[in-house]
């Protein structure tokens, strides 16, 4: 969103790293803004939603995705050997879950997503992350 306010943040690591992850996510939003506002001359116009690797840290890789409504989705992965195909598949599923959640008539646009169904769906997507699929 334009204000870069998080609509949903969830950590799936066992470590107590919520504050560090919040910082990483906010830094990644700056990188997304930079890429969207200053596209490389050699690249085609930015209508591609998958922004690929935003930046690596020592312990994480941060990936970005921009919906056609300018909602920014980020993935912070602890697996440093993640394949782009797996990340694309994750974002495709996560985007679909997001669309379903915000399409709920009881959801207030711009507010945090508090749906238990959405949280369970995201958890399922994360658990299947990295598992090769035939589709």
Which pLDDT tens digit goes with each residue over 6-35? 888 888 877 777 788 888 888 888 888 888
Question: In Å, what is the CA distance from 2 to each residue of 48, 76, 117?
Answer: 19, 21, 26
pLDDT digits (tens, 9 = 90+) for 56-111: 888 889 999 999 888 999 999 887 788 889 999 999 999 999 999 999 999 998 89
Confidence of residue 135 (pLDDT cuts 50, 70, 90): very low
Say yes or no to pLDDT of 55 above 70.
yes
Task: Report the candidate in 90, 70, 55 with the shortest Cα–Cα distance to residue 7.
Answer: 70
């Amino acid at each position: 969103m334009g204000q870069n306010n998080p609509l949903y943040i969830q950590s799936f690591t066992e470590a107590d790293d919520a504050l560090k992850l919040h910082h990483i996510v906010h830094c990644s939003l700056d990188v997304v803004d930079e890429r969207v506002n200053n596209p490389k001359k050699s690249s085609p116009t930015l209508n591609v939603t998958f922004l690929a690797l935003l930046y690596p840290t020592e312990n994480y890789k941060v990936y970005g995705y921009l919906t056609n409504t300018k909602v920014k989705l980020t993935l912070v992965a602890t697996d440093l050997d993640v394949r782009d195909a797996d990340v694309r598949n994750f974002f495709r599923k996560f985007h679909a879950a997001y669309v379903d959640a915000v399409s709920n008539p009881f959801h207030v646009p711009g507010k945090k997503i508090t749906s238990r169904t959405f949280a369970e769906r995201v958890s399922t997507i994360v658990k299947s992350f990295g598992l090769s699929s035939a589709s």
